[in-house]
Amino acid sequence: MADTTLCHLRSRFGRGTVRALSGALVDLEFDLGGRVIRPLASAPWGVLPPMADPQPAAHLTALGGEWPCVPFGRSSADPVKHGHGTDTDWHLIAAGPAQATLAIDYPTGHAVRRLERTVTLSDDAPRVEFSLTIHATRAATIPVGLHPILAFPDHGTLRLTPAAHGAIRTAPASLAPANASLAPDQAIGPDGIARRRDGTTTCLWDQPGRQGEDLILVQNCAGGVEADDGTTLTRLTWEASALPHLLIWIANPGLGQEPRLKGFRGLGLEPVAAHFDATPAGQGLTLSPDRPTIIRYAIDCRPSRPKEPRP
């Protein structure tokens, strides 16, 4: 699928590109006091030409940035992983210098009729604000999520600090990536210390660790997570009433299930109403045909705070 640009956005503090495929925001840059910050990851291969069958999912061939997933993961509500809107082109409704509104219509018979989203670069701070509107054709409960992928720093680590949260678990063996480094289905305490398959331990809050690909679900997370590389702090905030959990995808590198796509590195910090990548039917976010569901969220960057010791 061709990489079709819908529009370029620019504000006093940043710029970015809105892409038709997935309706994704890519190539986001912020000016942080004269330093150019690029918080979102992108695939090292750019956009690949069509491959021999079986074709990889379209979004994987141009992976990176941020986009919504409706439904999220693998779901009985949609044959496409991460939903119809992930592997299909969106269309532009309106665009200004710093704001774009785009939409996609879903197939006839789907529980979702239409998605609309607005992307706005702030003129007041290095910040991008989003709204996602879900129009339903009928009452349904489906998994929904957002899929921003942060870039790893060239040197050092990202220190993660989630907002107040409940239980933390690694993916069960049936849902873990093929090259997972963490022991499956384990409970993790607030300190983030997790067991590896080889018997050693690691702290989830410092990424990237050793090579591997893992999924971790932070349940009942209060709508925020910070990632600090020692110079820049990137913060994701969202409405936890709609998306109560945070799914962390460590791709160091990822895409082990698709050997033709090698070398992708990034950190998915994904607010979800979902259970990992395979949510049981009837669980997730409840939609109504009588009123649209609107989810607001934002990404911003700022200078790092002085480092504090971990508890």
pLDDT digits (tens, 9 = 90+) for 77-119: 999 999 999 999 999 999 999 999 999 999 999 999 999 999 9
Please tell me the least confidently modeled range out of 28-32, 124-128, 208-212, 221-225.
208-212
Which residues neighbour 17 within 8 Å (Cβ) at sequence distance 6 or greater? 5, 7, 8, 9, 25, 26, 27
Q: What is the pTM of this model?
A: 0.94
Q: Is residue 119 within 8 Å of residue 110, measured between CB atoms?
A: no
The mean pLDDT of the chain is: 93
Q: Is 27 exposed, middle or buried (0-12, 13-18, 19+ CB in 10 A)?
A: middle
Q: Is 46 exposed, middle or buried (0-12, 13-18, 19+ CB in 10 A)?
A: exposed
| pLDDT value for 20 | 96
| pLDDT value for 57 | 82
Q: How confident is the model at residue 44 (pLDDT cuts 50, 70, 90)?
A: confident
Which residues neighbour 26 within 8 Å (Cβ) at sequence distance 6 or greater? 16, 17, 18, 19, 40, 42, 64, 65
Q: Is 54 exposed, middle or buried (0-12, 13-18, 19+ CB in 10 A)?
A: exposed
Nearest to residue 62, comparing CAs of 183, 188, 149? 149
Q: Is residue 172 part of a domain?
A: yes
Q: Is residue 266 within 8 Å of residue 64, measured between CB atoms?
A: yes
Q: Is residue 186 within 8 Å of residue 141, measured between CB atoms?
A: no
Q: What is the CATH number of the domain that holds 116?
A: 2.70.98.10
192: left (phi over 0), alpha (psi -120 to 50) or beta: left
121-151 residue pLDDT tens: 999 999 999 999 999 999 999 999 999 999 9
Sign (positive/negative) of CA torsion 168, 172, 173, 176? negative
Q: Is residue 310 part of a domain?
A: no
Give percent above pLDDT 70 in the chain: 95
| pLDDT value for 84 | 97
Please name the amino acid found at residue 83. G
For the segment 206-212, the average pLDDT, to the nearest whole number, is 90
Q: Is residue 30 part of a domain?
A: yes
Q: Is residue 311 part of a domain?
A: no
| pLDDT value for 133 | 98
For the segment 184-213, the average pLDDT, to the nearest whole number, is 94
254-289 residue pLDDT tens: 877 777 777 889 999 999 999 999 999 999 999 999
User: How far are the Cα atoms of 91, 103, 154, 194, 227 from residue 108, in angstroms, in the given order?
Assistant: 18, 16, 45, 44, 40
Q: Which is higher by pLDDT, 296 or 2?
A: 296
| pLDDT value for 80 | 93
Q: Is residue 1's pLDDT more than 60?
A: no
| pLDDT value for 309 | 56
Q: Is residue 28 part of a domain?
A: yes
98-108 residue pLDDT tens: 999 999 999 99
Q: Is residue 13 part of a domain?
A: yes
Q: How confident is the model at residue 60 (pLDDT cuts 50, 70, 90)?
A: confident
| pLDDT value for 308 | 58
The residue segments making up the domain with residue 89 are 5-303
Q: Is residue 309 part of a domain?
A: no
Please name the amino acid found at residue 3. D
4-17 residue pLDDT tens: 899 999 999 999 99
Q: Is residue 308 part of a domain?
A: no
Counting the structural domains of the chain, the total is 1
